[in-house]
Amino acid sequence: MELSHFPAPTNGHAPETIDGSNRPALALAKLTVLGAEATPLESLVHHRESVDAGTPLESAHRDFRDRQVEFMAVCREGCVIGLCARGQIGFVMGSRFGFALYSHSPVETALVAEPLIVMHDTPVRELLDRAMARHGDAFHEEVVLVDADRRLLGLIPVEALAQLQSRLVAEQLDELRRQQAALLEQNLELFRANHALRQSQGLYLGLFEGHTLGVALLDVDGGIHEHNQRLAELLGFAETSAALISLTPWVAETDRPAFLALLQAHADSGTAAATRELVLHLPGRGARLFRCSTGWIRETGQICACLDDITDQRTLERNMLRREKQTLLDTLVGGIAHELNNKLTPVLGFADLLSVDRGADVQRYADYIQKSVGEAAGIVRQLLQLSKPVAPAAQLVDLRTVVEETLVMLRFQLRESPCEVRTVFSATPVWVMAEAGQLKQVTINLVLNALQAMENRAGGMLAIEVHACEPARQAVLTVTDNGCGIAAENLGRIFDPFFTTKGPERGTGLGLSICFSVVRQHGGDIAVESQPGSGARFTITLPLEDVGALLFAPATGTAAAPGPADVPRGERVLVVEDEEVVRRLLQEMLRAQFGCRVDLAGNGAEALDLLVRENYALVLSDIRMPVMSGPEFFLHLREVRPGIARRFVFLTGYPGDRRLEEEIAQWDVPVIPKPFTLARLAEVCTPFLRLPPPPDAAATGEDTRPD
C-alpha cells in the first residue's frame, strides 16, 4: 500500500556496493532462482539513504552530492513520510534567489508530490502494475520500500523494476511456450486417442460383423441388444425381416434355467468367461446343439455371447469315436477269430478222420465233436460279422419289399404290443443294392427296440417310413417311436458293442452294433435323434440305385468237382503252416483222401528252400505266418516258379485285412477258411491233383519268369 506521510529515521550506515566504490550496489544480483514473481522485494533495493524531514534544503542538497544518489527517503521519527529528489532540490536551490530564500527551509517542503511507498509484503505483480502505471517524471522515481512499522527498508530504482518486469514477461512467455507445447502434445495425444478409437471401432465392427460365430450382446434376461449377421443366419432369421428380441425363448426348457443362472452370475459378480453347450429349438430345423461362450463387459454392463452350431461337429465326433472303437474291435476280434479257427481246425479235421471207417460209437462221438466245432465256428462268424461284416451277396432289391416282409415276420410281436403301427411307403420302388436278409435283421432290431421303449406306455405310436431322396440319391428308412427316449449321455454310445441300458435278461448290447456294421457294409449311414421322454427316431440312408440297373445278376454254375477216385495216387504236395497240429492234420487228410506224399514247412522261407529241391503238384499255404507270410511266399513263387504258383491254395483262420482279401481275389487263388472239413478240402484240391504235375524246372529248363 502507498504511504505518503510516514516519518522515517535517519539511516546512518554506509550504502552497499558491489564494486568496492562508493556507488550503491545494484541489488539485481540478489534475484532468486525461484522465478520473477517469487522475488523478494528487498532483493530489489538500490540503497537505503534517507534524510530527516527537518533537515534544511542546503544540507540535503549537500547530502545528495556526497552520497551520489538521485532519491532519498524523508523520515520523521524513524518513519517514512515521503520522498525527495536531488533534481527537484537542485532546481529549487539553483533558481534566482533560491538559495537565499530556501536554503534554510526543511526538506519536507520539497517532497515529491506522489511518491510510491509500498509495504515489504506487497505482491510483485501489484508493485509492477503500480510502478509502471506512473506517467511523466513520476515514472522515473524510485519506489520506497517500508516494513510493517513503516520503517525504511530501501529504495527500488525503476531500472530494477523494469528488469524484473522483463524477466517476468520472459518467464510468462516461457510458460506460455511450455503451455503451448503441452497443449500441442495434448492435441497430439487427443488425435492419437481419436485415431485409436476409430481404429478400435473399425476393428470392433470388423470382428463383430465378420466373426464366424454368432455374436450377441445380452442383458441378464437374455434380451438381445445387438447381434451380428452370422447369429441371424444360425438362427434362421437371415432371410426374414423379423427382429431378434431375446435368445431365451429359443433355449430348450431343460437348459433354460442353467442359461439364465449363468447370465445372472455374470451380472452379479462379473464372473470369468464361461462355455457351455445348449440345445436351441429353431423353426424349421428342430433341436440343434450350440456351444455358447459368455463373458461380462464391465464398461457396458452387458454379456457378450458367442454361439456356434456344433450339431454336425458332435455327430462327426461320435462317428469318428465310433470308428476308432470299431477299428479296435476289428483288431481284437480278428486276432481272436484267427487263433480260435486255428485251434478248431484240427479238432474238426481229426473228428472227420475218426469218422472214416470207424464203428458206430466213434462215429457218434465224432458227430458230437463236429457239431460243437460247428457251433463254435458260428460264434466266431458272428464276432466277425460284428467287427467286419462279410461282403453281402448284394442284389437289386426294393427297400419297401424288404420292410414289408420284415413286418410280416414280426406280426406276432406287433399284434401283442398295445401301440399303433403306421407305415408310410413311397409310391414307387426304392431300389438299393443290398443283401435282403441283412437289411431285414437291421429292421427287426430297430422295430423290437422301439416296441420295448413303448412298453407300459399309453398311446404308443410306431411309425415306419420308406422313401427315396432323389437330390441326394439316397434311400431312406426311418423308424420312429414315442417311447421313453434315450438319455443325452447315452446317445454317443448306443452303437458301441455290448453297451445296453437293459437288464441282462433283455439284451446283450449287440443289436444296434450289428445294425451299424451292416449299414456301413452296404455303404450307408445310421443316425439317431432322441429326447428323454419324447421317443427316438432312427434314420438309415443307403445309396439309391438306378432303376435301369439289372434286377438280378446272372447265375454262374460250377461243375461238380471230380471225386477223389479220379485223382492219381502218390502226388507230392507241400503244406506251409506255422501251427504244427494243423500241419499234421493236413498231412493226414491228404494222405487219407488222396494218398499223397506231403512235405511240411513252418513258413514261406522254409517252403522256398524245399522248392529248390522238389517239384510239387499242389501247394497249400496259410496266410498269416512269421518270417514270411503266405502272400509274400506266393508273390515270390510267382516270380521263380510260375507253374507251381498256378497250383496254389490259401488257408486262413482270418486274413484280417480287407485290402488283402481283395488282392488275393484278384490273384484268382482259392481260399479255404478254417475250420474246414475233409469234404471241403477234397472239393478244392481235387481239380489241381487231377491235372498232370508241372515238370521239374531244373530238368526241363522251365521258364521261371512271371506269366
Please indicate whether residue 689 or residue 371 has the higher confidence score (pLDDT). 689
For 218, which DSSP code? E
- Structure confidence by residue, pLDDT tens digits, 4-24: 333 333 333 333 333 333 333
Question: Alpha helix (H) ranges present in 12-85?
Answer: 57-67
Place of cell 455303404: 523
- How many Cβ atoms are within 10 Å of 70's Cβ, its own excluded? 17
What SS3 class is residue 599?
strand
Predicted confidence at residue 181, as pLDDT, reads 93
Q: How confident is the model at residue 371 (pLDDT cuts 50, 70, 90)?
A: low
Torsion angle in degrees (nearest 10) through CA of 253, 255, 260, 262: 180
Contact 418, 455 (CB under 8 A): no
Q: What is the pLDDT of residue 600?
A: 92
Annotate 347-398 with DSSP letters as a single string: HHHHHHHHTTT--HHHHHHHHHHHHHHHHHHHHHHHHHHHHSPPPP--EEEE
Contacts of 19 (CB under 8 A, 6+ apart): 25
Identity of residue 285: R
Question: Which three three-digit cell numbers place residue 520?
Answer: 456301413
Instruction: Give the model's pLDDT for residue 377.
Output: 67
**Residues 153, 11: Cα–Cα separation, whole Å:** 10
CA distance 462 to 452: 11
The whole-number pLDDT of residue 574 equals 93
Instruction: Please indicate whether the domains covering 27-169 and 211-309 agree at the CATH topology level.
Output: no
**Share of residues in the chain with pLDDT > 90 (%):** 15
CB 8 within 8 A of CB 152: yes
Q: Which residues contact 126 (CB under 8 A, 6 or more apart)?
A: none
What is the average pLDDT across 640-649? 90
In the numeric block, the cell 434380451 is attached to 223
Q: What are the sequence ranges of the domains in the chain?
A: 27-169, 211-309, 319-387, 395-543, 564-700
The predicted model gives 511-526 an average pLDDT of 82
CA distance 606 to 19: 128
Q: Is the pLDDT of residue 277 over 60?
A: yes
Distance CA 546, CA 432 (A): 8
SS3 labels along 538-570: EEEEEECCCCCCCCCCCCCCCCCCCCHHHCCCC
Most confident listed range (39-43, 74-78, 548-552): 74-78
The SS3 of residue 282 is strand
Residue type, 199: Q
Q: Are the C-beta atoms of residues 336 and 342 closer than 8 Å to each other?
A: no
| Domain 211-309: assigned CATH number | 3.30.450.20
- Written out in words, the top-level CATH class of the domain with range 27-169 is alpha beta
Q: In whole angstroms, what is the distance from residue 143 CA to residue 112 CA? A: 12
Q: How many C-beta atoms surround the C-beta of residue 131 within 10 A?
A: 22
Phi-psi label, residue 330: left if phi above 0, alpha if psi -120 to 50, beta otherwise = alpha
CA distance 340 to 332: 12
Q: What is the DSSP-derived secondary structure letter of residue 219?
A: -
Residue 216: pLDDT over 60: yes
Give the chain's end-to-end CA distance (angstroms, integer). 133
The three cell numbers of residue 380 are 466266431
Task: Spell out the residues 6+ positions from residue 392 whose beta carbon is closer than 8 angstroms to its own.
Answer: 434, 435, 438, 521, 522
CATH architecture, domain defined by 395-543: 2-Layer Sandwich (3.30)
pLDDT in the model for residue 380: 65
Pairing state between β 648-652 and 618-622: parallel
Under the banding of pLDDT at 50, 70 and 90, the label for residue 372 is low
Please tell me which residue, 208 or 195, carries the higher pLDDT value.
Answer: 195
Q: Evaluate if residue 626 carries a pLDDT over 50.
A: yes
Helix 511-521 × helix 436-453 angle, to 10° = 140
Over residues 55-93, the pLDDT tens digits come to: 898 888 888 888 889 899 999 988 999 999 988 888 887
Which pLDDT value is given to residue 555? Answer: 37
Residue 119: closest CA among 139, 144, 141: 144
| CATH assignment, 564-700 | 3.40.50.2300
Q: What is the average pLDDT across 101-111?
A: 84
The stretch 575-579 carries a mean pLDDT of: 90
Q: How confident is the model at residue 146 (pLDDT cuts 50, 70, 90)?
A: very high
Q: Which grid cell sits at 63?
A: 547530502
- Tell which wins on pLDDT, 93 or 327: 93
List the grid coordinates of 57. Answer: 534544503
How far is it, in rounded angstroms, from Cα 150 to Cα 118? 9
Per-residue pLDDT band at 632 (split at 50, 70, 90): very high
The 10s digit of each residue's pLDDT in 239-267 is 655 677 888 888 888 888 988 888 888 88
